[in-house]
Structure 1
Amino acid sequence: MEAKRLHSSKEKKIKRREVLGKKKAIDEAIKAASSVKDHLASFLPFRHYDRNGLSVYLESGSGDHLSSPMKQYIQNLLKVNMEGPYGSEWRTEEKVKRREMVAPEARYIFVREAPKTSVDDMSSTMEGIATCTNWVGDGNPVVGFVQYRFIVEEDIPVVYVYELQLEHCVQRKGLGKFLMQLIELIARKNRMGAVMLTVQKANLSAMNFYTSKLRYMISSTSPSRVEPLIGVEKSYEILCKAFDEEAKAKLEENNYIGDG
């Protein structure tokens, strides 16, 4: 009996060391990923996007280093794109987003119009600025951004996309898919197990974009999966794309996209 107790105690100690070791590894992965100042540096081909009549380039940023014009721009674009899907919840949600926007752990990829060289290009650019963007800061016009963080969900290190916002004039040109592919590469490069994000149910085009075009799944952490009877009343779903078996088991288990 004594030997059995000793064996059980030893097993518990080993298991505890394994759990602590795994937690340490996850914390170190999050810390390492968050300390990288420019995640684009590892993906030079993704710095520019020249397709479907668009010519833009990307640059990195962080929440605690946003200029005043950039803060105002983010707030304006969020209001234009999200006030409709959020409906009556927008006034409260806007305050939350303003806090999230400037958090030190918030990472950004900004999309700027590429500088034009010819007279025709410059004329086209000026017309685009007048109708497409409300950018009033320094540098080339900003026409969209991605905001993301490295966090832990269900003991899995993940990239959580807080915002993917594009101006109307650059939508439906493949840019959103391009940016999400980049985010997935950043996640894999930094040893994250998945990419996750939240989508308003009312935002049907966004839901279709992520689930149909990009093959994201409704996560097992989404309200509709955790408590279906309560979740049906919630205005959002949590989506994910897992990269390994452990992440899939914890974040995509018993998964399905609604049956209509």
Structure 2
Amino acid sequence: MADSSKGRKIKRKEVLERKKAITEVIKTASAVKDHLAPFLPFRQYDRNDLAVYLESGYGSRLSTPMKQYIQALLKINMEKPYGAEWSVEEKVKRREMVAPEAQYLFIREAPAACGGEDALKCEEKSSHHLWTGDGDPVVGFVHYRFTIEEDIPVIYVYELQLESHVRGKGLGKFLMQLIELIARKNHMGAVMLTVQKSNESAMNFYTNKLRYHISIISPSRVDPLIGGGESYEILCKVFNAEAKTKMRSW
């Protein structure tokens, strides 16, 4: 009996130590001031007739123009996929947007993006921008967080939103590759995200082009009979055996 009690105490101690270690990993990753710093080549993207550069940001430090921009782009891109759920979801996203734990990558169009074009074409391109603040036009953003899922430290991508005129040029794949590099650099076990089932282009992008898998914690995997009726799937890409066991459905 004494040996059994001692064994339970040791087990509890191991569990607590592991939780403490995971929490410290999240805390350390979240405290990094600029996650782009180790990846200088990823600060710029100049391909397929598109020239942009990236900068880091935080939910607690968003300017008023940036908040307005995020809200506007989310509405344009996500109102249709969410359908009747959008009125409620929009309020949720506004709260998520400014959370202290929210980390951002902002994509700005480089001044050279109009190089070689005549003034009329450049003006026409500029008219497409939603950005109304100072500086070069923002044309998209990634909202991500360091968090814990199933006792695994992960990066959870809350949003990857791009304006229509910069899509189809490889930028989305580039950004997700960067997120995966940031995840590995900061000792995360996986990258996770949520996709609306009705957003077929996004689902195809993540599952076919980027090889993400429906997670074992996605409603359709937890309970196919009930969860299959949910409007979304949780996807993941894992980086180690433990994360694979706890998050991958196969």
Instruction: Tell me, yes or no, whether TM beats 0.5.
Output: yes
Cα 1:216–1:119 shift into 2, 3 Å: closer
Aligned to 1:158: 154
Cα 1:184–1:9 shift into 2, 3 Å: same
Letter in 2 for 1:126: E
Aligned to 2:68: 72
Q: CA deviation at 1:15?
A: 1.1
Distance 1:105 1:154 in 2: 19
1:1-260 equivalences under 5 Å are: 5-116=1-112, 120-121=116-117, 123=119, 124-131=121-128, 133-253=129-249, 255=250
Distance 2:93 2:238 in 1: 26
Is there any run of 5+ residues in structure 2 with no aligned partner, and where? none
Distance 2:115 2:179 in 1: 35
Given the two structures, how large is their TM-score scaled by the length of structure 2? 0.97
Q: CA deviation at 1:116?
A: 2.5
Distance 1:251 1:187 in 2: 16
Q: CA deviation at 1:231?
A: 1.0
Distance 1:34 1:232 in 2: 34
Distance 2:63 2:114 in 1: 30
Cα 1:41–1:232 shift into 2, 3 Å: same
Q: Residue 12 of structure 1: SS of its match in structure 2?
A: helix
Q: Residue 41 of structure 1: SS of its match in structure 2?
A: coil
Distance 2:118 2:146 in 1: 39
Letter in 1 for 2:123: M
Distance 2:101 2:125 in 1: 33
Q: Are 1:116 and 1:125, in contact at CA under 8 Å, matched by a contact in 2?
A: no
Letter in 2 for 1:142: V
Range that drifts further, 228-237 or 110-119: 110-119
Distance 1:121 1:142 in 2: 20
**CA-atom RMSD, angstroms?**
1.3
**Per-residue displacement from partner, 1:53-73 (whole Å, max 9, x unpaired)?**
000000000001001010000
Distance 1:118 1:24 in 2: 50
Q: CA deviation at 1:126?
A: 3.2
Given the two structures, how large is their TM-score scaled by the length of structure 1? 0.93
Cα 1:206–1:21 shift into 2, 3 Å: same
Q: CA deviation at 1:34?
A: 0.5
Distance 1:239 1:82 in 2: 18
Identity of aligned residues (%): 70
Letter in 2 for 1:130: S
Letter in 2 for 1:19: V
Is there any run of 5+ residues in structure 1 with no aligned partner, and where? 256-260
Mark the structure with the bigger radius of gyration.
1
**Per-residue displacement from partner, 1:117-146 (whole Å, max 9, x unpaired)?**
986458354331112x11100100000000
